[in-house]
Each structure stands twice: as C-alpha cells, then as structure tokens.
Amino acid sequence: MFNEIYEKIKKYDTIVIVRHIGADPDALCSQIALRDSIKLTFPKKRVFSWGSTSTRFNYLPKLDRLEEVSDILLIVVDTPDKKRVDFSFTTSIDYSIKIDHHPFVEKFCDLEYIDDTASSASEIVLELINETPLVNNFDIANTIFTGIASDTNRFMFNASSKVLGLCSRLLEEYKIDTQLVYSNLYTRPLTEVRLQGYIGLNMKVTENGFGYIKLFDDVLNNLSVDSGSAGNMVNTFNYIEGVYVWAVVTKDSKNDLFKVNIRSRGPVINSVAEKYNGGGHKFASGARIHDEEQVDLLLKDLDLACLKYIEEEVAKNED
C-alpha cells in the first residue's frame, strides 16, 4: 500500500497533514517528518502540517499557519477516529489517507494504512519513506527517531526487532545525537518533579492493584503545574510492585472536562476506556469526560479489570 500512498502524494499539488488533538511527540513528529520528506522530494508542492501544539515541543520543527486551500490531499496520521482529528474538516478534500498504528476504530479516509503492530506512527512514516522514492535527510531522520523514542518510552514498549533494526540503520546513516534527543524529550521543570513526588505520596492503590490520583486546580496551582503536564505524569509510574493499572485524572477547567490518562502492564484497558467515549492502545489509553460521576465509574471499571486480570492469572497458574 506504500506505493499507492506515494502515487497519491505525487498526484496532488496541495497536501495537508494532520493528527490527533492533544498533540504528543509521535503525533507531531510523524506529521512533520512526512511533510518535510514530501517537500524535499517535491519542492514545488504546497505541503502543510496543521494543528495546535504546545511550547513544550519547541525543540521540534514548527507547524504551519492555516492558509486557504482547496481540493487537497488530506493525510491523517496517528489517529484512529474522526472525532479526535485536530482539523475542522471544512476545507474541500479531494482525497484522504489515514496512516495509523492504533487498533482500528472506524474508517473515515478513502485509503487507510493501519499497522497496529508498529511502535508508533513515526515508524510507519519511516517505512513509507524507506520503501518509496520519498527522500530522507538528517533533520527528517532526527524527527522520526524522536517520535519513535518517545512513543516507545526509549524502547521500553513495543520495541520489536523490526523497529530496533530500522532505528539502528537511521543512527548509522544519519549520525543522530541520541543524547540531545533524550535531553529534549525528558528534561522537565523542577515543578514537575515536585508533582511526581506528590503523586507518589498521594496515589490511592486498591487491593486489586489499581493506582489512581485526581489532580485538580487546588493541587496543580499550588505546585505551579498545568493540567496537560500533570496528565503526562502517568508515564512515570510504571513498574510499581502490585500495581497493574494506573490512572491520572486531571481537570481541564477551561473546557470544563476531566482528562483521564491510563496505563497498564497487564489488563487490557482500551476496551474499558471506550465505554466512556475514550480509547487508545491495549496498555495506553485515555478518555475525556464531562461528568465526575462518570470518571468515578471509569475508575471502578479499571479496578474491576485488575481484579479480572488477577483471577485469570491465578487460573492460568493453576492449569
């Protein structure tokens, strides 16, 4: 299918690349690397990466300003469902392509390439570049490596031999400064470290091995941390003995909704998140919920998922 995608890219003069709301490094890196590779290969094309971002990703190449365009080729990366695409869909789209590594949710593009065994959308963009005449260079390779390193949490998750091989070749060919990539991705303000300490001290852990914390304005203002950074803290609480699923609930007061970031190292959680209009991967999911009672029901369901997991593991051991 990569050749089919390449042929569409070749055909269109105006291409817009978008991804999910709540940008993260893989979403941004995959849309930016694809844009830059298309521009390098076809300098006359108008290619844009659109969407809102945050100052904490200032180390990445910039996104583009909105412009009047029509009859575009739209490429959506890293997003399984239309409602989560950071794009208004008011522009006239002639053809659309999805490139994603999430489990399938719905078809909303003309052509969809989905590989849910890929570590990241950036990995798929790298394969697309490697397997078609699309061109690579140091900056593009560096952006792709940043996306892969981030979504795999420095090759801790989904680090298949395939992605390790792809990255090994990238490092060899483009001499990427991995220390700089990691310092960009992982340097954080002292306020976040203090918040991490607060979470460690105050996280509630149920007897089924479900850990959670609610972080609302009172705590976040005290520690001078915004709710987006607080949600990302979910990534720092893996491998706690006896904790199988953990969640951070933050309140986005501006939009009056609760954001739940969930991670697991056993029970499948995306099916639980889906019940609350959320979704994601088997072991990394999220949901946005308007009503705190619904948040509490989700937390209860996650606890039950832990209990079911423990029971299944015990049964397996008895077999």
Interface size with ligand AMP, residues (CB under 6 A): 16
Q: How far is CA 155 from the centre of its chain?
A: 15
The token pair at 233 is 């803290």
SS3 79: coil
Q: Which is nearer to ligand AMP, 24 or 252 (CB)?
A: 24
284-289 vs 257-264, strand pairing mode: antiparallel
> One symbol per residue from 187 to 226: x for binding ligand AMP (CB under 6 A), - otherwise; what is it?
----------------------------------------
Q: Which of 131, 84, 81 is nearest to 109 (CA)?
A: 81
SS3 66: coil
Q: Which is nearer to ligand AMP, 245 or 284 (CB)?
A: 284
Per rule CB under 6 A, is residue 284 in the interface with ligand AMP? yes
Per rule CB under 6 A, is residue 287 in the interface with ligand AMP? yes
**Closest distance to ligand AMP from the beta carbon of 184 (Å):** 18
Q: Which is nearer to ligand AMP, 211 or 279 (CB)?
A: 279
User: What CA–CA distances, in Å, run from 74 to 35, 69, 91, 92, 159?
Assistant: 12, 11, 10, 10, 29
Q: Which is nearer to ligand AMP, 6 or 276 (CB)?
A: 276
242-281 binders of ligand AMP (CB under 6 A): 261, 278-281
Per rule CB under 6 A, is residue 39 in the interface with ligand AMP? no
The token pair at 71 is 């009859």
Per rule CB under 6 A, is residue 35 in the interface with ligand AMP? no
Q: Which of 19, 35, 84, 98 binds ligand AMP (CB under 6 A)?
A: 84
Q: Which of 186, 146, 137, 152 is nearest to 38 (CA)?
A: 137
- What sections of 12-60 are H helices per DSSP? 25-41
Q: Which of 84, 79, 80, 91 is nearest to 16 (CA)?
A: 91
162-191 binders of ligand AMP (CB under 6 A): none
Which residues sit at the interface with ligand AMP, rule CB under 6 A?
20, 22, 24, 84, 102, 234, 261, 278-281, 284-288
